[in-house]
């Protein structure tokens, strides 16, 4: 039986033994006695968020429900996540002004027209706005993931994340690399290599800044503005270096991967045919997101689940064409049926993810899902349109979200209103205006 009169424990308390140190998880006893009430505990549990991109849209004829309200009837595709009906809201009427075609990936999380006359210039994405404000206390302010590594800049994007200078942040696609980055404890040799890397990065940054400052004395006013932007970028890299150094001496969390796949070896979509199974890969990526959020290694995640102009044909899907080719369905019943089939396979993986989040109980007996706001959509609807997007918000009950079942918004409601609502519930300040949003979706706010 628990001691209801136990003394308060400092959260910085660590366990010491066999020469190792490990930080304790958040316990009720670490909370001030005046905060033992439910509302105090809820505030002590961090809020998390994730945005997820399903490139090339979905078969909206099978996705969008016909009825509305909390007691709506699930569509054929949404039947895949039927047991979570009380934990999500379907949002009809969402619109991406600069979406449609295959360029919605560039504007998805920023709301601006990034591609214009052959040039690409973007703004800060909603997840990075969140990372600046709620990610400062975690080892990784944000985590970028995709089925392919890198940014894809100039082509189909592999990232949803853009920093304040409009620079895309690269995604990782290998679960093995991600797991090691999040949870692997470095040995002495690896630690020395890391420290050498820190010193080299510091030396390079110092040399770059010295050269730039000498150059600053002899440039025009216009070039001076560009140099100021450059200095801001260097300072951002310096701050990240300092963060990396600080976190390098802090212990990584130990995790239980029982019931999950083996993360000990590389597992990528580029593996030879017969060695790669997308079903396994999808679950590995979702397991990693759940573990990262549960251990508070990060509070902000973006994931390109499916890239634009792709989607692939995997043996276990049992479809006759590539996903992109199916989206050019020409109203052929067979194409539309296979398109919906693929959508349901992707949502079956999402169902696995939500189950995993629900399996992590918090100290107030809520679930990790209750403290996580997860939004998914696409850069297009059906027929490569910029409206009628497949949009859902999952979780977030502990952050003040009241799910509405199927909420039909006014025609051409900016997708940014969903992002705006999520940021509002995360207590992220967005300023007087946010992208092309006209305000939060009040129906979703308790």
User: What does each of the 446 residues of the chain score in pLDDT, given as a tens digit?
Assistant: 444 444 444 443 444 333 333 444 555 555 545 444 545 555 689 999 999 999 999 999 999 999 999 999 999 999 999 999 999 999 999 999 999 888 899 999 999 998 887 788 899 999 999 999 999 889 999 999 999 999 999 999 999 999 998 999 999 999 999 999 999 877 677 667 667 776 777 777 677 777 667 776 676 767 766 666 666 666 667 676 676 766 666 788 999 999 999 999 999 988 887 788 899 999 999 999 999 999 999 999 999 999 998 765 555 678 888 888 888 888 888 999 999 999 999 999 999 999 999 999 999 999 999 999 999 999 999 988 999 999 999 999 999 999 999 999 999 999 999 999 999 999 999 999 999 999 999 999 97
Asked if residues 267 and 103 have their Cβ atoms less than 8 Å apart, the reply is: no
Number of residues in the chain: 446
Its pTM stands at 0.83
Could you give the angle at which helices 278-294 and 175-183 cross, rounded to 10 degrees? 20
pLDDT at residue 116, as a whole number: 82
Contacts of 226 (CB under 8 A, 6+ apart): none
Which residue's structure tokens are 């210039």?
121
Quick one: 134 exposed, middle or buried, by C-beta within 10 A (0-12, 13-18, 19+)? Answer: buried
| Rounded CA separation 78/66 (Å) | 12
- N-to-C CA span, the chain: 35
pLDDT at residue 20, as a whole number: 37
Whose CA is closest to 46, among 364, 403, 434, 417? 364
Alpha carbon of 360 to those of 140, 157, 283, 331, 398: distances in Å?
Answer: 20, 32, 16, 43, 14
Q: From the CB of residue 128, how many other CB atoms can be counted at a distance below 10 Å?
A: 23
pLDDT at residue 241, as a whole number: 65
Q: Is the dihedral of CA 198, 201, 207, 213 positive or negative?
A: negative
Token code pair at residue 22 = 């490990």
| Rounded CA separation 408/285 (Å) | 31
Integer-rounded Cα radius of gyration of the chain = 23
* Partners of 300 in beta bridges: 49
Three-state DSSP class for residue 52: strand
* Partners of 23 in beta bridges: 14
pLDDT at residue 274, as a whole number: 75
Whose CA is closest to 252, among 368, 135, 139? 139
| Rounded CA separation 109/310 (Å) | 20
Whose CA is closest to 89, among 348, 385, 417, 368? 417
């Amino acid at each position: 039986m628990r001691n209801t009169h136990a003394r308060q424990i400092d959260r910085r308390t660590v366990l010491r033994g066999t020469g190792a140190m490990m930080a304790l998880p958040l316990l009720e006893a670490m909370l001030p006695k005046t905060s033992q009430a439910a509302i105090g505990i809820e505030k002590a549990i961090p809020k998390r968020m994730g945005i997820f991109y399903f490139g090339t849209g979905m078969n909206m004829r099978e996705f969008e429900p016909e009825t509305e309200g909390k007691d709506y009837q699930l569509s054929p595709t949404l039947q895949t996540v039927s047991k979570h009906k009380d934990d999500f809201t379907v949002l009809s009427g969402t619109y991406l002004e600069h979406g449609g075609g295959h360029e919605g990936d560039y504007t998805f999380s920023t709301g601006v027209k990034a591609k214009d006359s052959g040039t690409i210039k973007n703004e800060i994405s909603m997840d990075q706005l969140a990372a600046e404000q709620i990610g400062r206390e975690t080892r990784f302010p944000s985590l970028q993931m995709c089925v392919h590594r890198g940014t894809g800049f100039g082509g189909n994007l592999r990232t949803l994340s853009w920093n304040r200078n409009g620079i895309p942040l690269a995604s990782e696609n290998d679960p093995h690399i991600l797991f090691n980055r999040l949870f692997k404890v470095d040995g002495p040799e690896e630690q020395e290599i890391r420290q050498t890397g820190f010193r080299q990065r510091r030396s390079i940054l110092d040399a770059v800044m010295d050269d730039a400052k000498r150059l600053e004395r002899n440039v025009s006013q216009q070039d001076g503005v560009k140099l100021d932007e450059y200095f801001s970028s260097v300072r951002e890299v310096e701050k990240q270096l300092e963060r990396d150094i600080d976190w390098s001496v802090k212990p990584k969390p130990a995790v239980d991967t029982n019931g999950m796949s083996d993360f000990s070896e590389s597992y990528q979509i580029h593996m030879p045919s017969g060695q790669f199974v997308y079903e396994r890969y999808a679950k590995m990526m979702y397991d990693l997101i759940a573990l990262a959020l549960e251990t508070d290694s990060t509070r902000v995640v973006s994931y390109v689940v499916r890239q634009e102009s792709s989607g692939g044909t995997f043996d276990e899907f049992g479809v006759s064409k590539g996903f992109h080719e199916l989206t050019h369905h020409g109203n052929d019943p067979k194409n539309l049926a296979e398109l919906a089939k693929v959508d349901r396979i992707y949502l079956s993986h999402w169902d696995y993810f939500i189950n995993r989040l629900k399996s992590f109980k918090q100290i107030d007996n809520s679930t990790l899902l209750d403290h996580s706001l997860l939004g998914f959509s696409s850069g297009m609807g059906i027929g490569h349109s910029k409206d009628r997007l497949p949009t859902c918000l999952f979780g977030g009950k502990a952050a003040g979200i009241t799910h509405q079942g199927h909420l039909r918004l006014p025609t051409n409601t900016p997708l940014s209103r969903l992002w705006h609502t999520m940021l509002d519930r995360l207590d992220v300040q967005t300023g007087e205006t946010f992208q092309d949003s006209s305000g939060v979706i009040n129906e979703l706010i308790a």
